[in-house]
Amino acid sequence: MSVNLLLGLQWGDEGKGKIVDVLTQSYDIIARFQGGPNAGHTLEFEGIKHVLHTIPSGIFHPKAVNLIGNGVVIDPVIFKKELENLAPYNIDFTSKLLISKKAHLILPTHRLLDAASEASKGKAKIGSTLKGIGPTYMDKTGRNGMRVGDVFTKTWKKRYKTLVKKHLRMLEYHDSALEFDISELESEFFEALGILKKCKVVDSENYLHKAQEAGKKILAEGAQGSLLDIDFGTYPYVTSSTTTAAGACTGLGIAPNKIKEVFGIFKAYTTRVGSGPFPTELFDEIGKQIAKVGHEFGATTGRARRVGWIDLVSLKYAIRINGVTQLMMMKGDVLSGIKTIKVCTHYKIQKKIIDYLPFDIQSESVTPQYVDIPGWEEDLTGIEEISELPKKFSDYIDFLEKELQVPIKIVSVGPDRKQTIFR
């Protein structure tokens, strides 16, 4: 049986959570493959809004099993809060939520190290969510990390203490003005860890192999976006995991030849939260309008998201890297009322017109080359059928589809589950 994959093609917050929730009815298993509580995936239905950070976005459906894969990093403290937020919904977590033994744990000192590292960078800071993501993945690849399965072993406490001792020394090196009470942080951490230990912890790769053999339908859920990928993103302004398609193989133990459809999600415009290059960024009134109408504030940190026009150069790059087979366009409704919409088709660098992402778009001055597309006036948020879409909006979709050479199969016109149009 095959596995389908869903991931973001921009700098995150494309609307992955919403679409995973919409698609879950057709799947048996939703498996998150990377990232951690830096993610904020928003779901809206029946007038309620939910933001998930670690728990996969299929959790509200009665049947689907939601698996937190080995590629994910888990902060027990945030995980506990997520469970508490879900308490009113009578979800049977024992049957519906599985955690990989190989997922790594974010320790309180990882969070402190993240903060100290960012503070030491000054103006060059990444704009991290400060959830401890970078330091945790560093310990993973440095072979010092603590995995969920480790906490059930006898030697765990000793290894934990050794690692924390090292972290505290590293904090001294950073010489930051960070104030913290380690015993307070640890008591919060260990209490939350107790809750996590009660969850169903599994050998997730085996579970998924058996599920595939049994013909179960699996959807792998990505976090962040392709332009935040550790290798292919706008380095160093990226996150510390593989957000692109390959991350589903390493983050779940799924073989590449088992992946069938790759769903690539993008907004009808672009946003970015945190530092780093953003060639099509808007600093004018239109940018402010898009940010306001689109409620462009980070789901995890509440920070204002930077806003800009759609960028086909980076979208084509992300489509190629991920092998995207179907596109999903989000938030078209936000652009209603804008007279002329700009679409970046090329970059100009030192008088040269290029259609690819250069090595370092930070240091080179990139001038986006735009095509003007007439905007539409109509409110899209109540539209349910493809045939009801205004002509100019359909023309915008057709233009993008022709440029990107991949079919746009879903058009989202609002945050609610129901505001989803299949093409």
Q: Where are the alpha helices (DSSP H) in 214-345?
A: 246-252, 285-293, 312-322
By CB under 6 A, tell whether 410 contacts ligand GDP: no
Taking the least distance from each CB to Mg ion, the nearer of 298 and 390 is: 298
By CB under 6 A, tell whether 247 contacts ligand GDP: no
Q: From the list ligand GDP, Mg ion, ligand IMO, none, pick the one residue 279 interacts with, judged by a Cβ distance below 5 to 8 Å according to partner type.
A: none
Residues between 18 and 77 that touch ligand GDP (CB under 6 A):
18, 39-42, 44
Among 3, 6, 13, 83, binds Mg ion (CB under 5 A): 13
> If DSSP states are collapsed to H, E and C, what string results for 358-401?
CCCCCCCCEEEEEEEEECCCCCCCCCCCHHHCCHHHHHHHHHHH
CB 366 within 8 A of CB 302: no
Q: Which residue, among 218, 369, 276, 248, has the nearest Cα to 10 in the 3D structure?
A: 276
Binding segment for ligand GDP (CB under 6 A), chosen from 125-133, 306-314, 319-327, 409-417, is 409-417
Q: What are phi and psi of 262, to 5 degrees?
A: -115, 110
Residues between 105 and 134 that touch ligand IMO (CB under 6 A):
126-129, 131, 133-134
CB 378 within 8 A of CB 390: yes
Q: Using alpha carbons only, what angle is made at residue 163 by residues 194 and 133, rounded to the nearest 5 degrees?
A: 75
Dist CA 353 CA 201 (whole Å): 52
Binding segment for ligand IMO (CB under 6 A), chosen from 63-71, 222-230, 402-410, 415-423, is 222-230
Dist CA 82 CA 8 (whole Å): 22
By CB under 6 A, tell whether 135 contacts ligand IMO: no
By CB under 6 A, tell whether 5 contacts ligand GDP: no
Taking the least distance from each CB to ligand IMO, the nearer of 11 and 269 is: 11
SS3 assignment, position 173: helix
By CB under 6 A, tell whether 13 contacts ligand GDP: yes
Residues that bind Mg ion (CB under 5 A): 13, 40, 299
Residues with catalytic function:
13, 41
Residues that bind ligand GDP (CB under 6 A): 8, 12-18, 39-42, 44, 294-295, 299, 330-331, 333-334, 412-415
